[in-house]
Every structure is written in structure tokens, then in C-alpha cells.
Amino acid sequence: ESAMREVIGRSNLSPILNRDRALISQTVQELIQGTLDSYEAGVNVLRVNFDRADPPPEVIDSFRDVQAAGQDRNTQESQAEAYANRALAEARGQSAQILQEAEGYRAQTVNEASGEASRFKAIYAEYALAPEVTRKRLYLETMERVFGGMNKVILDDTTSGGQGVVPYLPLNQLVGGDK
């Protein structure tokens, strides 16, 4: 009995009640055999049976509370690990998406810049051959882009000597446009 108390006293309670009974039986057997051998008793201990271990009735409710708390802890740890795995997978997915969008934006920006550079080189080559014609063409293209969608009346004072139109004539209203 003293050997059993010594081994139980050195052990944690949970493994004793749950899974380490064989190890405890072996340790108790070795301790008893060592004691008997020191007395030269001539007795061989063949086996120590450690079938059941129950906590004392005074602490059984507390023991069950501790076991329930341990199970709750395991449940919470499992849920936390599952949440961490989901969050990590989601973060990796978002990271990959952001990286792909950034690569796409980079490629688009590089392509646009390359296209504009090529256009500028082509315009410069034309300008080198015929500067005045290129300048006039660029001016006309710009005017077409600016005034293309507008409903406006444009008067050129240089062709009629400034005498052709009366200044207070509401041309916008006559052609159906806005001010």
C-alpha cells in the first residue's frame, strides 16, 4: 500500500484515472520488488493489478468539473484552430487576388505608356518630315475632339471683315442649342 501511495503521490491525477494504469502498475511492481529484495524476503512479485481508480467521493463533483473544463478547453482550442485556418486561407486568397490585380494594373499601365510613347515617336517622325502640316493636323484633331459633341455656332470675323453678323442676334436659340 505504501508503494502505491508513493507512485500515486508523484503522478498527476488525470493520467492515473484515464490512461496510464499499466505504467503505474509496472512502477508499483518494481518498487515493491525492490523493497522485498532489500529485505531479502525471497518473494517475487509477478503482477500488480490496477483495475479501477476513482476519485474520493468528497471530491468527485470537483473532479467532474475539472474534466468538463478540460473538455471545454479542448473544444475551444479546436474551434480557435479551425477559425485560424479559415482566416489564414481567406487572407491568402485575398493576398493572391490583390497581387493579381496589382500585376494586371502594372501590365495595363506599362502597355498604355508604351502605346503613348510609340504614338509620340510616330508623331515626331511625321513632324520631322513636315512640321507645319503636322502642327496643323494636331490642332484640327484637338479642335474636333473638344468641339465634336457640342452644338455651337462659330463665327470667323476674319473672312467677312467683322461685318456679317449683328452682335445681339441670339444664334444659339435660332439653331435650337443651349446658351
Q: Measured between alpha carbons, how far is 54 from 41 in angstroms, rounded to an integer?
A: 32
The pLDDT tens digits for 1-37 are 777 777 777 776 666 666 677 777 888 888 888 888 8
- pLDDT value, residue 155: 64
Name the DSSP letter for residue 57: G
- pLDDT value, residue 112: 97
The pLDDT tens digits for 37-88 are 888 888 888 888 877 777 778 878 888 888 889 899 999 999 999 999 999 9
Whole-model pTM? 0.45
Q: Which amino acid is at 135?
A: R
Geometric angle at alpha carbon 97, from 95 and 101, rounded to 5°: 115
Name the DSSP letter for residue 19: T
